[in-house]
Amino acid sequence: MKIIIAAMSRNRVIGKDNSIPWIIPEDLKYFKKVTSNSSIVMGRRTFESIGKSLPDRENIVLTKQAELHFKDIIIAPSLQDAFELATNKRIFIIGGASVYKEALPLVNKMYLTFIDHYFEGDTFFPYFDKNKWDMSIKKEVKKDAKHQYAYMFSVFTRKKVIRCKNQLKERTADKLNTGNGIELFV
């Protein structure tokens, strides 16, 4: 199963100067809990911002630079290669923006943290059609003395599309003639 995990601000910012412009320890703990014992796939810049492989996870880094090698990291030249190299059933796409954009049509689940604040940034989460997803809220935290920002952990699951081959035929058959020349669908 391929899953996106990301944290974004109200204005969709996910990064600035190859770093994340907020520190929310609970979100880091949540990220660790959700992604542990899985494969994680990230872009080369995201890996550089983290600076090391993340423990208890199979780390896969996307890069076109074939000569790159990092300790405890599997290098993949494409997203498809990353999916084939991953040895865990659960494969998390952990960013950055270009990788999220490419992976969005391929995933059925997203763990999204929304931070209720506007941040300056240079990297953004891609737009997606919310009507095509069911959203459930896992946790909401209010801003208070302990929490610098309000935030929400949510899970988006892609809605299933039910295709009905004879839909048009059935609709036509349902037409009613009201007798005064007006046709209604029921």
Q: Which residues bind ligand NAP (CB under 6 A)?
A: 6-7, 14-15, 18-20, 42-46, 49, 62-65, 77-79, 94-99, 102, 123
Omega before 179 cis (within 30°)? no
Q: Least distance from C-beta 66 to ligand NAP, angstroms? A: 9
Q: How far is CA 130 from CA 134, 156, 157, 158, 159, in A?
A: 8, 9, 10, 9, 10
Which pair of tokens denotes residue 177?
């003639």
Closest separation in Å from C-beta 129 to ligand NAP: 20
Of 65 and 131, which CB lies nearer to ligand NAP in the complex structure?
65
- Closer residue to ligand NAP (CB): 28 or 176: 28
Q: Which two tokens stand for residue 42?
A: 């990230």
Question: CB of residue 39 vs ligand NAP: minimum separation in angstroms?
Answer: 15
Supply the minimum distance, in Å, between the C-beta of residue 17 and ligand NAP. Answer: 7
DSSP states of 125-140 as a string?
Answer: PPP--GGGEEEEEEEE
Task: Give whichever of 33 and 163 is closer to ligand NAP, judged by the CB atom.
Answer: 33
Indicate the residue whose CB is closest to ligand NAP: 96
> Which residue type occupies 37?
N
Say if residues 41 and 98 touch (Cβ distance below 8 Å): no
Minimum CB distance to ligand NAP smaller for 44 or for 90? 44
Q: Which two tokens stand for residue 16?
A: 């600035």
